[in-house]
């Protein structure tokens, strides 16, 4: 996976985990805060304006009363304000010299400013000693809503302040008299009708209800957001079969674990656990039973993990696991226990599991200090674990394999071959070698086999065992088949033009090619394009091809023979169905596997098998070729029993085309056969 795609996946995980719930939470909090602040500001502004207007009017009234008192006496003040008005006159020490009405002034003086009367300067205000809802802050008079609410609840305290259904909240204001020795202090009352209070209470209740609805709605949305988050997370990051973690979650979460600072000193291991023969299990039972078994395997794996470890299903029957591996012996003991527990998942059937392991060591800087992992790629580590696990293929028993330097070098080599294969084909770096086949009775050249070598421009000479298995796995072998047929046909045509007495040359065609319905026509067209006779090209297939589509194989062989090509079976005797192959396949040539001729052939049983095989081939009208012959006694034995051709080091090793030309010119004598082959 590219870094770009990995970044997108990690971003998606963060988005799913956070945005659904926390974005809604944040937006709701911001919205409610703004509404609350705005409401408070509007109420405060309206109340401040009301108090300011009232105080300005009341200050004018008290000032006028002070002038009346000073010019005409208390009688005129009573006429103006009524007998029930309260006021007093105090000297500089605050001692009352005259009082009218009930004196409830606290005599605690505060200075305040009225913005509507800037010429008045700071005025003197005094709270009431019985009830006070006003306060002065920063030279500004305001109403203390907490005190208002508290005093309103205490109805018994308000009885003396209620007149005709109106609550009158007092505050005292002082105006200095002209003699400079006394201050006139009059009582002003802030009148609030009970109907107004009821209205305020109703409005406040409505606002409280609306606020409560907002809170309930917010909580409901938050719960829904978390539920939706879990649903989306389940769809994206849960495996649909095991209901556990899928590969995407494992990769993202695993890398997060490995990158954590406090895990920098820990050694980890990435595991690839494969349920061997899972598909066969599904065939014998059902896909549903197979899925049920995968769920049981998932639970068993998770039960063996500790805190800070992780598992997830990769695909099919493969599980990815991240485990601590600080102590190698203890870790291997855990793996053995894990295998033991997995094998007990099914009490009826014996199940096998393969485990591939790749270690992740702590990162160390140039000073030898362990540092936080930054560029960890858990997908690469899992691929390494898979590469180790693949080495166990072919064995149904449970086992484990570890990725090491040897496997790493093999993977690098495979990658190097993949990178160069197409360019090598286009640049014709693949070279055809020929190994002659001789008649053991006459020592005359009767045929040859075309073998491939790779002369790489940067890797040097590469033997076939180093690249052919890779081509067979990645499918490039079909391109090699075409390449070899084309070059052999081209060489045969060139030798014919030079007047050489050409003999048939066999070319290996991989079993992967035989699944193509028009293979015979492909070979015919390639050979015709080079101008070579069909009878000089022999198509060689391995016995393993018989295990594929037998009907298609027989059809292709018949078509090839119809076009004039001979068809041979290579490595006869290396498989388990050789006789059955002879019964069904219309072959021209039978090649005896080289394993028949390892050693000196001592013992009657070996000689009986070889001689009877030759006799059987003769009875089926097939020619025989013995591969891997290296000593004179083998040659004599084969000649005695009528073997048609021998291909082996006794006569010749594989050789370049130029050297093979000389072989076509000069027959090998009986005396020099062994020397020429070694």
Residue 672 has pLDDT above 50, yes or no: no
If one compares 673 and 618, the residue with the highest pLDDT of the two is: 618
User: Poorest-confidence range of 2-11, 353-362, 503-512?
Assistant: 2-11
For domain 429-677, the question of CATH label 3.20.20.450 is answered with yes
If phi > 0 it is left, if psi is from -120 to 50 it is alpha, else beta; for residue 443 that is: left
Does residue 297 surpass a pLDDT of 70?
yes
Q: Is the pLDDT of residue 24 over 80?
A: no
Whether the per-residue pLDDT at 638 is higher than 60: the answer is yes
Across the range 204-230, mean pLDDT stands at 74
DSSP string, 595-622: GGGSS---SHHHHHHHHHHHHHHHHTT-
Average pLDDT of the segment spanning 508-527: 90
Q: Which residue has the higher pLDDT, 119 or 176?
A: 176
In the chain, domain spans: 16-205, 247-403, 429-677
For the chain, the distance separating the N- and C-terminal CA atoms, rounded to the nearest angstrom, is: 52
pLDDT for 144 equals 67
Element (H, E) at 313: strand 310-315
At 380, list the tokens.
Answer: 């690469």
Q: What is the pLDDT of residues 359-397, one digit of tens each?
A: 999 999 888 899 999 888 999 999 999 999 999 988 889
pLDDT interval class at 156 (50, 70, 90): very low
> How much is the average pLDDT of 210-239?
74
Cβ count within 10 A of residue 28: 17
User: Does 270 score more than 60 pLDDT?
Assistant: yes
Q: What average pLDDT does the segment 451-455 reach?
A: 96
User: Would you say residue 10 has pLDDT above 70?
Assistant: no
Neighbour-count burial for 593-621, b at 16+ CB within 10 Å, e otherwise: bbebbeeebeeeebeeebbebbeebbeee
Among 73-87, 333-347, 447-461, 554-568, the least confident range: 73-87
- Looking up tokens 């696991």, which residue turns up? 321
Highest mean pLDDT among 153-157, 218-222, 444-448, 596-600: 444-448
C-alpha distances out from residue 377 to 7, 65, 244, 269, 411, Å: 12, 90, 22, 13, 17
Query: Mean pLDDT across the chain, nearest whole number?
Result: 84
Residue 676 has a pLDDT of 37
Third-level CATH fold of 247-403: Alpha-Beta Plaits (3.30.70)
Do 247-403 and 429-677 have matching folds?
no
DSSP readout, 213-242? HHHHHHHHHHHHHHHHHHHHHHHHHB-TTT
Report angle CA 572, 518, 437 to the nearest 5 degrees: 35
- What pLDDT sits at residue 324? 96
pLDDT at 266 over 80: yes
Mean pLDDT of 387-414: 90
pLDDT of residue 461: 93
- Per-residue pLDDT, averaged over 663-670, amounts to 66
- pLDDT beyond 80 at 430: yes
pLDDT in the model for residue 222 = 73
- pLDDT of amino acid 547: 61
């Amino acid at each position: 996976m590219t870094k770009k795609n990995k970044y997108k996946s990690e971003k998606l995980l963060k988005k799913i985990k956070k945005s659904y719930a926390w974005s809604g939470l944040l937006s709701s909090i911001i919205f409610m805060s703004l509404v609350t602040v705005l409401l408070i500001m509007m109420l405060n502004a309206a109340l401040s304006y009301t108090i300011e207007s009232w105080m300005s009017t009341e200050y004018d009234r008290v000032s006028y009363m002070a002038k009346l008192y000073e010019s005409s006496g208390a009688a005129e003040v009573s006429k103006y304000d009524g007998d029930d008005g309260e006021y007093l006159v105090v000297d500089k020490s605050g001692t009352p010299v005259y009082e009218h009405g009930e004196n409830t002034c606290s005599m605690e003086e505060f200075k305040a400013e009225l913005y509507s009367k800037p010429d008045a300067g700071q005025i003197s205000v005094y709270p009431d000693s019985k009830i006070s809802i006003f306060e002065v802050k920063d030279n500004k008079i305001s109403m203390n809503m907490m005190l208002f609410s508290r005093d309103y609840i205490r109805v018994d305290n308000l009885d003396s302040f209620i007149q005709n259904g109106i609550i009158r909240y007092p505050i005292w204001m002082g105006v200095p008299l002209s003699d400079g020795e006394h201050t006139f202090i009059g009582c002003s009352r802030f009148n609030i009708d009970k109907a107004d209070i009821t209205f305020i209470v109703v409005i406040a209740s409505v606002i409280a209800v609306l606020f409560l609805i907002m809170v309930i709605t917010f909580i409901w949305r938050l719960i829904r957001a978390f539920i939706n988050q879990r649903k989306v997370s389940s769809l994206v990051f849960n495996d649909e079969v095991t209901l556990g973690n899928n590969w995407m979650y494992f990769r993202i979460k695993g890398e997060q674990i490995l990158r954590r600072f406090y895990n920098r000193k820990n050694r980890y291991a990435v595991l690839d656990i494969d349920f061997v023969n899972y598909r066969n299990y599904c065939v014998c039972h059902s896909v549903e039973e197979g899925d049920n078994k995968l769920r049981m395997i998932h639970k068993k794996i998770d039960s063996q993990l500790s805190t800070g470890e992780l598992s997830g299903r990769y695909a099919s029957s493969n599980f990815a696991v991240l485990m601590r591996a600080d102590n190698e012996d203890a870790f291997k003991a855990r793996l053995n226990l894990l295998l033991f527990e997995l094998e007990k998942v099914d009490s009826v059937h014996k199940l096998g599991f393969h485990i591939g392991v790749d270690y992740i060591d702590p990162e160390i800087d140039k000073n030898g200090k362990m540092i936080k992992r930054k560029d960890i790629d858990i997908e690469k580590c899992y691929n390494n674990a898979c590469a180790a696990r693949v080495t166990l293929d072919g064995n149904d028993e449970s086992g484990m394999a570890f990725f090491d330097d040897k496997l790493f070098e093999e993977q690098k080599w495979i990658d190097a071959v993949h990178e160069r294969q197409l360019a090598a084909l286009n640049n014709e770096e693949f070279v055809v070698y020929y190994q002659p086949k001789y008649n053991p009775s006459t020592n005359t050249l009767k045929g040859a086999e075309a073998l491939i070598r790779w002369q790489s421009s940067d890797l040097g000479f590469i033997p076939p065992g180093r690249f052919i298995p890779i081509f067979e796995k990645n499918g490039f072998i079909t391109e090699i088949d075409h390449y070899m047929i084309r070059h052999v046909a081209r060489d045969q045509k060139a030798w014919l033009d030079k007047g050489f007495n050409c003999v048939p040359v066999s070319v290996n065609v991989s079993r992967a090619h035989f699944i193509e319905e028009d293979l015979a026509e492909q070979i015919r067209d390639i050979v015709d394009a080079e101008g070579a006779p069909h009878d000089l090209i022999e198509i060689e297939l391995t016995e393993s091809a018989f295990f594929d589509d037998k009907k298609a194989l027989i059809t292709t062989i018949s078509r090839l023979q119809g076009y004039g090509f001979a068809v041979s079976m290579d490595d006869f005797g290396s498989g388990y169905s050789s006789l059955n192959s002879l019964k069904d396949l219309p072959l021209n040539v039978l090649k005896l596997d080289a394993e028949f001729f390892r050693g000196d052939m001592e013992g009657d049983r070996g000689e009986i098998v070889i001689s009877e095989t030759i006799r059987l081939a003769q009875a089926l009208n097939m020619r025989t070729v013995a591969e891997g012959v290296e000593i004179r006694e083998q040659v004599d034995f084969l000649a005695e029993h009528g073997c048609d051709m021998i291909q082996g080091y006794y006569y010749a090793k594989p050789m370049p085309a130029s050297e093979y030309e000389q072989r076509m010119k000069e027959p090998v004598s009986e005396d020099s056969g062994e020397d020429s082959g070694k």
